[in-house]
Amino acid sequence: MAQIVAAGAVLWREADGDVEIAVVHRQRYDDWSLPKGKLDEGETVPACAVREIHEETGYACVLGRFLRTVSYVHRGSSKDVHYYSAEAVSGAFVANDEVDELRWVSVASAPALLTYPDDRSVVAEFARLPADLSIVLLVRHAKAGKRSEWSGDDDLRPLSDAGWRQAAALQALLPLWSPTRVHAAPRVRCVSTVSGLAADLGVDVVLEARMSEEGFWPDEDAGLVRLLEIAADEGRVVVSSQGGVIPAVVSALADMGGLRLGEVPCKKGSAWVLAFTRPFGTWSTSDSPSRWPTLVSAHYIASPLPRP
């Protein structure tokens, strides 16, 4: 059976202190659905979601947390549609070949308008958490060759040719979440993985000793608190770290937030999209842990490279 991969989103905006989401009418099928579409050749799933949103609704958007994957059989092919939360940041709807009407509706009223149960399940997942969450993009550094084949100081081990390709792909992928800050463990390979992104954003890479293997393991709690401090700061953030740190950090934060993740993969050049509740008011590490940012969603992107 042929495999079709598609992506879409629950597109949302604030309206009078509440949240509205976009539901579109497709004239070809005479149905009401969430905006979505198939991947183009050489396109990543997140990039497809952003492109399809713009093509069908006219809105530019910023991705948030991953919601869920819907799978079904369509015209003899197996189809997987990956859905994100996405905030509308600019644009306006204009009728087009695919969509002839768009309605902004409350989250509560959307299920009655949507034609398909799968779309209603995606909206239900969106409604489970606040729309506006803090996002940390936790990245493992790109490929840097084998440690055994590098004779110099391991802190200075550079990216390989394959690693630079991964770094370039991350430079294109991560802006879909609109980060404004870039942090990295003080290793050449960690900094190089995100230096292109930092240059594009016009910011410096902030070095984070606690996000290195040597800095994290002597005091794991201090490392976790440091990541929570980073998450609580203003603006979304990219943090480049090491394979000996990321699984432990994600697992511990998931346990603290009551998430069940099971195995925590961490390939070189991969990224975890971590979504946190925002702390109330001004936050500091002296506060009760109940007021700290809480991890409520974690989604793994195995590779930043486009699909072949």
Rounded to whole angstroms, the Cα distance separating 306 from 45 reads 8
What pLDDT was estimated at residue 271?
98
In a domain, 106, yes or no: yes
Across the range 99-113, mean pLDDT stands at: 98
Query: In the predicted model, what is the mean pLDDT of the chain?
Result: 93
pLDDT for res 286: 66
| Top-confidence residue, 267 or 76 | 267
Q: Which residue has the higher pLDDT, 145 or 232?
A: 232
**Are residues 117 and 142 located together in one domain of the fold?**
no
Q: Are residues 120 and 164 in the same domain?
A: no
Q: What is the pLDDT of residues 246-279, one digit of tens each?
A: 999 999 999 999 999 989 999 999 999 999 997 6
CATH number reported for the structural domain that contains residue 67 in this entry? 3.90.79.10
- Which H helix or E strand runs over 250? helix 246-257
pLDDT at 184: 98
Residues 114 and 170 in one domain: no
Burial class (CB in 10 A: 0-12, 13-18, 19+), 302: exposed
The reported pLDDT for the residue numbered 306 is: 77
Are 142 and 290 members of one domain?
yes
Q: Give the bridge partners for 49, in sequence order.
A: none
On whether both 116 and 88 belong to a single domain, the answer is yes
Q: How confident is the model at residue 151 (pLDDT cuts 50, 70, 90)?
A: low
- Check residue 77 and give its pLDDT: 81
From the CB of residue 208, how many other CB atoms can be counted at a distance below 10 Å?
21
Domain end, chosen from 77, 92, 127, is at 127
Average pLDDT of 144-172? 85
Distance from C-alpha of 183 to C-alpha of 91, rounded to nearest angstrom: 31
Do 140 and 199 fall within a single domain?
yes
Structural domain includes residue 307:
no
For residue 30, being part of any structural domain is answered with yes
When pLDDT is averaged across residues 6-11 and rounded to a whole number, the result is 98
Query: Where does a domain end: 112, 127, 142?
Result: 127
* C-alpha distance from residue 97 to each of 27, 36, 55, 101, 224 (Å): 8, 14, 10, 11, 49
* Position 282 pLDDT exceeds 70: no
- Confidence at residue 75, expressed as pLDDT on a 0 to 100 scale: 74
Report the alpha-carbon distance of residue 171 to residue 161 in Å, rounded: 15
In a domain, 116, yes or no: yes
Residue 201 shares a structural domain with residue 267: yes
Last residue within a domain, chosen from 101, 127, 153 = 127
Domain count, the chain: 2
Shared domain for 117 and 138, answered yes or no, is no
- With contact defined as beta carbons under 8 Å apart, do 275 and 296 qualify? yes
User: 220 in a domain, yes or no?
Assistant: yes
**Is the confidence at residue 307, as pLDDT, over 80?**
no
| Per-residue pLDDT at 148 | 67
Asked if residues 91 and 57 have their Cβ atoms less than 8 Å apart, the reply is yes
Do 146 and 274 fall into the same domain?
yes
Q: How much is the pLDDT for 112? A: 98
Same domain, 200 and 265: yes
Q: Print the domain residue range for 41.
A: 3-127
CATH of the domain at 260: 3.40.50.1240
* pLDDT tens string 205-253: 999 999 999 999 999 999 999 999 999 998 999 999 999 999 999 999 9
Query: How many Å apart are CA 273 and CA 277, to the nearest integer?
Result: 13
Partners of 149 in the β-ladder = none
Q: For the segment 196-209, what is each residue's pLDDT rounded down to a tens digit?
A: 999 999 999 999 99
What pLDDT was estimated at residue 54?
98
Handedness of CA 70, 247, 212, 232 (dihedral sign): positive
**55/119 same-domain check:** yes
